[in-house]
Structures are given as C-alpha cells and as structure tokens.
Chain A
Amino acid sequence: MEILMCIIAGLLFAAAVYLMLSKSLLRIIIGTGLLSHGTHLMLLTMGGLKTGAVPVLGEHASAYTDPIPQALILTAIVISFGVTAVFLVIAYRAYQEIGTDNMEQMRGMETDD
C-alpha cells in the first residue's frame, strides 16, 4: 500500500513541477496546489498505513492508526490554504496592475530605479 501511495505522490510531484515550470501564472498556482497535495499524501504515507481503528478512544480497538501525521497534515493543510489564498489574490492584483499573467513578461530590473 505504501508503495502505491509513494508512486501516486511521485506522480503528483511530477505534475506539480511540470506545471510550475510553465509560463502562465494560473498554471503555476495549480502546480503549487498539486505540490501540497503530494506533500500531504507523502506525510500520511510516511506515518505508516497499517490498518487500525480511527484514533478516537471511544472505539475500544486493540490498535489505532498513528494520530500524529494526521495532526501534522491538518496543520499543513490550513497553512497551505492560507498561502494559496494570498497567492491567488496577489496574482489577481498583479493581473490588474501589470496586465499580464505571462511570467516571461514579468521580468525585473528594466524599470527599477
């Protein structure tokens, strides 16, 4: 099971890298979304995917799944959620101000003074 998850996470990373290397800003942001999905999936896998009850004590099971990676993922999800929201808004503002979403046309230095 872990091997399958690793392959899926790897595919997500590959797609994310491909998208982040493209010219359009929106594709880049979609790439960051896929990157964080891959990251969170990887975190879950690294904690181990052994079968066990959900980590709720009322279950009275003999074995539970590891609760720590789930807490870490929850934290990482909200953080990447916040960052993505900021990123999207800044991309929108940049589109309004600069008038392009092409990263090739967002090079620096020529107007810096």
Chain B
Amino acid sequence: MINLPILPILIPLVAAIVLLFLSKNVQAQRIVSAAAAAFTIIAAFAVMMKVEAEGIQTVDMGSWPAPFGITLVSDMLSIMLVLTASIITFCVILYSFRSIGSGREAFYYYPIVQFLLVGVNGSFTTGDIFNLFVFFEIMLMSSYVLIVIGGTKVQLRESIKYILVNVISSAIFVIAVGYLYSVTGSLNMAHISARISEIGAEPIITVLAILFLIVFGLKGGIFPLYFWLPGSYAAPPAPVLALFGALLTKVGVYAILRTYTLFFYHDQAFTHDILSLLALLTMIAGSIGALAYKDVKQILIYNIIIAVGVLLFGIAVMTEESVAGTIFYLVHDMIIKGGLFLLGGIMIYAAGTSNLTKMGGLIRLYPALGWTFLIAAFALAGIPPLSGFTGKLLIVRAGFEAGEYVGAIIVLLSSLAVLYSVVNLFMAVFWKNPENKLPEEKKQTASLFIPAAILVVLSVLYGVGTEAVYPYVMQAVDALIHPEIYIDAVLKE
C-alpha cells in the first residue's frame, strides 16, 4: 500500500482521539493505548521492511507533487527511529499501568502519551521544514502537559521554566524557517537542499546553520543550551521521565543530523568545527554532572547529556563511518535510556527515596532488578558484547582517522565517566549497607520490572546482533552521506 509511511503517525493520532472519549474508564484506556502502541510497532516494522526492499518511501499528501505539497519521507534512518520510539512508548505504557496512579490516568494521561508519539513519529518522518516545526510543537505541547500532570509544587515550578525555554526556541525556529524561506523560496527539505547547493557556500547559509543549531541544540540539550534539562527532567514521575529521556532530546539530535547532512554540508570547515567543539564541551559538562550528584535521577539525566555529546561528535566528524556510528549509537541510546529510567523508577519506588546516601542493600530483596540494572549500566558504557559498543567504536575510529584526536579521546574518557557514575549508582543502591533501616518486606515490582526488562533485553539483542542490524544502518548512512538519493526520491526527477 502506497500510504504505508503515514500509519505510524495516524494510528497513535486516532487512538489519542478515541481515548479522549474514554477518560473515566481507566481499564478501557489501558487496553486501547497498549493495543494502539502495539499496532504502531507493527506498522513501523512493515514500513521498515518496505524501505529495506524498495528504498526510500515517500507520500505526497493530497497528491500534490513534491515541492508544492507536504511530503512524508521514510528513509531508513527515520523509520528505524520511528520503530524504536514506538517500542519505547509501548514499554512505557505497560509500565504506567502500575506506576502512574489512577488520578493521572483519569486525567488524559494515555491520550497525551499517544499525542507525544504522534509528534515524535511525525518529526522523524516529515519532509517539510515547517511541518517539522508543527510536529515539534505537537510533541512539546504534549510534553508540557506530561511534565505538569499531577500538579505537585516541583512539577509546576519546573514546567514554567521548561515551557519558557521551549517557547523561546520555537520562536527562533520560526524565524529560522522564515530566513530559510526568504533565501531559498521553498519549504520542502529536499527542494531546499537542491536550492542551497545551487547557491553554494554563501555566508547567509552559514548563519542559518548556526541558527538551526541553536534551535535544535535547545531541544537536544547541547553544551551551553542544556541548562534547563536537569531541573525539568527531575520533576515528572519515572515513566514520563523515561519517555522524555529516550525520545525528546533524540528528536533534536535527529534534526541536527538531518539538517547538517541535507542542508548545511557546503562550508563544513566552519560549522563542523563548531559542532565538534560544542560536542566536546557537552560531554565534559555531562560527565561533571554525572559524577557530581548523589541522586538516582540526576545521575541518569546527566548521562543523557553525555550521550548527546557523543552523538554530536559523530555528526561533526561527518565521514561515512562516523555517521554509521552515530546511527548505531542513537538507536542504542534511545532503548537503553528508556530501560534505565524505568529501572531507576523501580529503584526509587523500592527504596522510597532517590537519594543515594539513604539507599543500599537492595540486592537482597530485588536480585533480578539489580543484575538487570548492572547489564543496562554496562551496555550504557559500551562494554563489548552489549549495545553501546559498536556505535562508540565506529565514532572513535572515525574520529582518529579524521585527525580529531582530542575529541576521540574525550569520547573514550566520557565512557569512563559514564561507567563510573552508573556502577557507583549500582554499588550504592544495591550493595552498600544502608545507614537507615530499609523496609523489610518486599514491594511488588514484577509488573513494573517486565517492561523495563524488555528494553534491556532488546538492547542486549541489539548489541549481540550487530551483524543483523548492520545492513539497515548502512542503508541509512547511504542516504545521509549522499543527499542526492534523498532529493531524487522526493522530487522524482
């Protein structure tokens, strides 16, 4: 069917609208939202098979030919990310059954999660720059509601800051789109790319590149623009935090990857030097934060920032190998961050606090949780058979080959910081003898543990089955390194 790429956007959208009518019937909401997420996974998988067999899939909405209407483009990169996002959302929905609480469930929690998935999948799939802005807003508006739903003091306080930062970045996004429109006269991303390569390396294009970097950097949490992230992400409950940590910043990274491979590849000496400098500072800032805190949530949140830095460095090097590494690492990082935040939520629930100094000894009551967390921690740091390894290996090797020695070494050192921070977390939560007496009776955590474990198992499989994933990643890299493929697929010339 020719309209297949729209299904991962349409299914959650329809589900969200249906769920709005079921707001008081919590049981029905759970069934519909889990079923919708499962169908989204199936649809995304079907699109992925189609893309693998037949190349980039495009849908011209309303049958208007490419530069004039809105075109949805599923290339291998976007559909891989759509599939990953759908799987994470599915696991988070399962996790929410037990953890989110009936008060939030009755107040449109599930529809908002579906709307968030609409925004994320749409941002990954769209081929129109203004449509990207609209999908960003769908995603952000849902995240405003998710961050504040429940209405505790911390949530209200942090949501104000979060909304303010995102309102400003959205305004800059619109201005940047306006500038881009006045330079190229088009909104279709493939058409813009073709027009920019006609103009070549004009200074205004470089200015636009930096403007887009500021916008997407604010969404993605890169070095001087990540200041809002630690506070805001600590406010919402664990499943919402898992959604944010796994999806939202990665959409910003995807947008940087897309614009810097499709639009702004003509004056790489300037833009990519800035990218690589910011990537290094992001990794350093994230490492400092991850080592400094004695709080489960904060340690994991600063690990998001480190990962964004690694990804940005992979984009900055911009060779075939480093882009392949970036894609490997992007998918890995989405899965493992989802898993880690869900596990962290269980740990906080089990210990009754998120403060490391007050926790300890949980391994006696929750051995499965402990060992799963350790595997996830090793995967995050990139220990060889697990999933973080391939991506970082490719990024580091590409960095050395491109002569970016400082960057590659900092990527390696940042892995050490990641490993230290999460293993320290593991030892403090599970091994150390607690200062205060822990609750002796074991809390029921099986239904919370299963969705988190699914994500960790997926990440292990992703690491072990690198060979199977490799052709998909290389297909994605091909379309990124050669923008002509993307342009030809969309404009059909």
Contacts and interface: CB of A to CB of B under 8 A. Distances in A.
A binds B: yes
Contact of B168 (A35, A48, A106, A113): A35
A86 B144 contact: yes
A39 B171 CA distance: 6
Contacts of B161: 106
B237 interface: no
B167 A86 contact: no
B181 A68 contact: yes
Interface string A69-103: 10010011001101100110011011001100000
B141 A82 contact: yes
Contacts of A46: 178-179, 181-182
Given A35-B168, A113-B354, A108 B178 contact: no
B36 to A, nearest CB: 24
A52 interface: no
A68 B187 CA distance: 10
Contacts of A109: 231
A9 to B, nearest CB: 9
B134 A36 contact: no
Interface string A14-55: 000000100001001000100110111011011110000000
Contacts of B231: 108-109
B174 interface: yes
B362 interface: no
Contact of A35 (B153, B160, B171, B178): B171
A111 interface: yes
Contacts of A76: 133, 174
Given A91-B160, A108-B157, A113-B353, A35 B137 contact: no
Nearest to A86: B144
Contacts of A91: 160
A83 B167 contact: yes
Given A86-B141, A86-B144, A90-B163, A75 B156 contact: no
A93 B161 CA distance: 14
Contacts of B224: none
Contact of B156 (A36, A82, A98, A113): A98
Given A86-B144, A106-B157, A42 B178 contact: yes
Contacts of B321: none
A112 interface: yes
Contacts of B164: 20, 28, 32, 87
A113 B355 contact: yes
A94 B295 CA distance: 25
Contact of A93 (B154, B156, B354): B156
Contacts, number: 103
B160 A106 contact: yes
Contacts of A108: 154, 157-158, 231, 234
Nearest to A44: B178
B101 interface: no
Task: Give the size range of A's interface with the partner.
Answer: 35 or more
A25 B159 CA distance: 13
Interface size class of B (residues with CB under 8 A): 35 or more
Contacts of A47: 178, 181-182
Interface string B288-307: 00000001000000000000
Most buried by A among B164, B171, B179, B187: B171
A38 B353 CA distance: 45
Interface string B142-158: 00110010010110111
B175 A90 contact: no
Contact of A25 (B158, B160, B167): B160
A26 to B, nearest CB: 12
Contacts of A48: 182
Contacts of A36: 167, 171
B171 A97 contact: no
A43 B130 CA distance: 12
A108 B151 CA distance: 16
Contacts of B137: 79, 83
Given A47-B181, A93-B151, A35 B167 contact: yes
Contact of A97 (B133, B156, B167, B175): B156
A12 B151 CA distance: 33
Contacts of B178: 39, 42-43, 45-47, 69, 72
Contacts of A97: 151, 153, 156
B73 interface: no
B376 interface: no
A95 B134 CA distance: 30
B163 A87 contact: yes
B160 A90 contact: yes
21 contacts: A20-B168, A36-B171, A40-B174, A43-B174, A43-B178, A46-B178, A47-B181, A48-B182, A68-B181, A72-B178, A75-B130, A75-B134, A76-B133, A86-B163, A94-B160, A97-B153, A97-B156, A106-B160, A108-B154, A108-B158, A111-B153
| Among all A-B residue pairs, the 9 with the closest Cβ atoms | A46-B178, A46-B182, A94-B156, A43-B178, A39-B171, A108-B231, A39-B174, A106-B157, A35-B171
Interface of A: 20, 25, 28, 32, 35-36, 38-40, 42-43, 45-48, 68-69, 72, 75-76, 79-80, 82-83, 86-87, 90-91, 93-94, 97-98, 106, 108-109, 111-113
Interface of B: 130, 133-134, 137, 141, 144-145, 148, 151, 153-154, 156-161, 163-164, 167-168, 170-171, 174-175, 177-179, 181-182, 187, 231, 234, 295, 353-355
